[in-house]
Amino acid sequence: MSESVDGQDASDFHREVGDPWDEGYAVTGPVEAHGRSLDFGLLLLRAGSLLLVPHGAYAAFDMARFTALVDQTLIGSQAPDFFAWAIMLCAVGLPVLLLLGLFTRPAAFLLTAVLAAVWILGVFLREDYRPFAGDGSLTGEVALLLVALVLPLVFTGAGRLSVDSLRTGGRP
């Protein structure tokens, strides 16, 4: 038995306050929250993360040079081999997961965290840090642009054109 609200059954509460939900919606089926164009836009956003793969591939082909570069950073000097491999694997593997739409939110969150850490530790915390480069662009703007590209996927998910959609039965 449901509790009463002002002497009425609680199941009738929403009708009392004028909520448009009624049995008519249940007969017509669920109302679509967004169109297919949003799913296609999310697919393009996920595909944009592939811009990071050449950076990871370049690091993989010259791992000794990349490890030496990581060794010059604040945290990378503690374990340069580990951090170089971790950054390289994240730069190659996570964009591929995003393109497929597999584990999209965790992959986007991890990729955002890695890119933000790369910018903070590799650019912002340097002794010679200047906000603007010589050509007027922001210092380290590529990492910031990739963060701006990937971060929305943490909140939106992959959309219906993804493996996640198949895996979860269409739930976000």
**Is residue 22 in a domain?**
no
**Residues facing residue 138 across a β-bridge:** 132
pLDDT averaged over the chain? Answer: 80
- Taking CA atoms, 67 is separated from 56, 115, 120, in Å, by 12, 17, 18
pTM: predicted TM-score of the whole model, two decimal places? 0.72
Residue 18 has pLDDT above 70, yes or no: no
**Which of helix, strand or coil describes residue 85?**
helix
- What is the pLDDT at residue 16? 47
Region 9-25: what's the mean pLDDT? 51
Tens of pLDDT, residues 52-90: 899 889 988 999 999 998 888 777 778 889 988 998 999
Domain span at 42 = 35-167
**Is residue 102 in a domain?**
yes
**Is residue 111 in a domain?**
yes
pLDDT band for position 14 (50/70/90)? very low
**Is residue 64 in a domain?**
yes
**Is residue 9 in a domain?**
no
Q: What is the DSSP letter of 124?
A: I
**Is residue 11 in a domain?**
no
Strands (E) across the chain are located at 4-5, 8-9
- What is the pLDDT at residue 105? 94
Taking Cα atoms as reference points, which of 56, 135, 59, 140 lies closest to residue 96? 56
**Is residue 21 in a domain?**
no
pLDDT band for position 28 (50/70/90)? low
**How large a percentage of the chain has pLDDT more than 70?**
77
The answer for residues whose C-beta is within 8 angstroms of residue 81's C-beta and 6 or more apart is 67
Burial class (CB in 10 A: 0-12, 13-18, 19+), 126: middle
- What is the pLDDT at residue 21? 54
- What is the pLDDT at residue 13? 47
Tens of pLDDT, residues 101-140: 999 999 999 999 999 988 887 777 776 777 777 777 777 7
**Is residue 1 in a domain?**
no
Region 27-47: what's the mean pLDDT? 76
**Residues facing residue 136 across a β-bridge:** none
pLDDT band for position 171 (50/70/90)? low
- What does the block give as tokens for 160? 């219906």
The answer for residues whose C-beta is within 8 angstroms of residue 74's C-beta and 6 or more apart is 121, 125
Q: What is the domain count for the chain?
A: 1
